[in-house]
A and B are shown apart, each in its own frame.
Chain A
Amino acid sequence: MVKKGLGSVHFSTVALALIPVAVGINYIGKLFAGVLKLPLWLDAIGTVLASMLAGPVIGAISGVVNNIIYGLTVDPISFVYGITSLFIGLVTGVMANRGWIQSWGKAIVVGLVVGLTAVLVSTPLNIVFWGGQTGNLWGDALFAVVMSQTSSVWLASFLDELVVDLPDKVLVVLCSYAIYRGLPQRVTQLFSRSNQMEELD
């Protein structure tokens, strides 16, 4: 039987094998967005899908592992934002478990909640590490404008992150939902934790 919880860690092998693939999907999403020259990152689809399929804990781990690997291979800064990824996985997974991925309307709500969570977690990190900026051209321009008008670092940083992150995360969740809906049952079944053994005579 599959026990859950981080203390006596005992995840099913499928769930563990899902994690590296989730990281890979994140990366592929980012690459495709680049190939198509989309003005977004779309680099959390794997994390969100992992949460939808296998629940919040596996989703959260996928998020953290994603940033560790990304930090080791591409961009050392991304280690820091592992916390954001963790929350993206957690929130999606909890909402998925509570029945929030059953329609497009609900999926948009999930996207908004996930996006806001990401903004709320990332903003303090931005302030500690970058004085509040995100490194995104348009976001930072907005940051400068708000700073000059209100001199509130928190507000400026929050808005900087919001314009950059919210649209991205809403689209990430919608893309993930579209993919999730299209998955055959034999695939989604694999990660279902409610399967019971049944006796045949």
Chain B
Amino acid sequence: MKQIIVDGLKYRYPGAETLALHDVSFEISKGELIGVIGRNLSGKSTLCQSFVGLVPHFYRGAYGGKVIIDGIEVKKSTIREMSRIVGMVFQNPFTQISGSKETVYEEVAFGLENIGVRRSEMIERVEQALEMMDMERYKDRSPFDLSGGQMQRLAIASMIAMKPQVIVLDEPTSQLDPQGAEDVFQAVERLSHEGWTVIVVEHKLEKIAQYADKVLLLDGGRRVDFEIPSKVFSRGDLEKHGVTAPVYTRVCRALDCRMKDSDVYPVTLDAACEVLKKCP
């Protein structure tokens, strides 16, 4: 049984003329790390929001098809219920800070207070989450006094303290400097290692290539591909879908050096070195 089933998902925002998602189907197993890629307005954010029920329950609008997570159909559930299963981190580090707490420590507890977690358990979960995100040393700071990368890690900590089954991150690094982005990505990798199912929208394809089990390529609200990274990044028509392959892949393509016993190009630095050494 797959953990997440998306079947024929269609969605149109209220007041919009065109569909944001168009017959999207795919399945994800527990513990997989899925990278979602595609140009702007290709439907990535809309898809992310459909896991936790923001689509359709926050916006309403027109909806068709099904998203089922852990056996629960999102459309028939509520954001309240879905957010117990699915944790979500957004693009803008500033607007996901609750804005009502004075310290990082209290901020992580915000969601737990809302859902009524007992104090002793709350403290345990907050400390665990801060430790996992390497944020303990900032626990007494104001959330607004953090750098973008630290804020984003705080957002992740706040989310994992809620103990969801699935973690969705919508371009968590797009507004960060390179170091901040690197730190966030390492944090995401740790989550994946801990066994969580992770879905991440990301423009930095080198990162996706390195960590993702599978890549979902969207364009115009449609699923173009859903495969292992090397297959998706080796597509000849990648650029036409508004995506530029990792630089290693492009170099190997230019030199026509493929992976051994297959027709795909390498997508990570290590694999590229390996292949290029033996390439005529």
Interface residues of A (CB under 8 A from B): 20, 185-186, 189, 192, 195-201
Contacts and interface: CB of A to CB of B under 8 A. Distances in A.
Interface of B: 10-15, 19, 56, 59-65, 99
B56 to A, nearest CB: 6
A189 B14 contact: yes
A196 B14 CA distance: 8
B64 A195 contact: no
Contacts of A195: 14, 59-61
B15 A198 contact: no
Contact of A197 (B10, B15, B19, B63): B63
Contacts of B13: 186
Given A185-B15, A189-B14, A189-B15, A196 B60 contact: yes
7 contacts: A20-B99, A189-B15, A195-B59, A197-B61, A197-B62, A200-B19, A201-B64
Contacts of A186: 13, 15
Contacts of B14: 189, 192, 195
Nearest to B79: A13
A197 B64 contact: no
A185 to B, nearest CB: 6
A182 B56 CA distance: 27
B142 to A, nearest CB: 17
Contact of B62 (A185, A189, A199): A199
Contacts of A196: 60
Nearest to B8: A201
Contacts of B15: 185-186, 189
A198 B59 contact: no
A20 B100 CA distance: 11
A197 B12 contact: no
Contacts of A200: 10-12, 19, 62-65
Nearest to A14: B58
A201 B10 CA distance: 8
A195 B64 CA distance: 16
A185 B14 CA distance: 10
Contacts of A199: 62-64
Nearest to A197: B60
The 8 A-B pairs of least Cβ separation, nearest first, read: A200-B64, A198-B62, A195-B60, A200-B10, A195-B14, A197-B60, A200-B62, A189-B15
Contacts of B64: 199-201
Contacts of B10: 200
Contacts of B11: 200
Contacts of B60: 195-198
A198 B62 CA distance: 4
A141 B56 CA distance: 58
Nearest to A201: B64
Nearest to A188: B15
B254 to A, nearest CB: 42
Given A197-B63, A200-B65, 17 more contacts: A186-B15, A189-B14, A189-B15, A192-B14, A195-B14, A195-B59, A197-B61, A198-B12, A198-B61, A198-B63, A199-B62, A199-B64, A200-B11, A200-B19, A200-B62, A200-B64, A201-B64
A198 B60 CA distance: 8
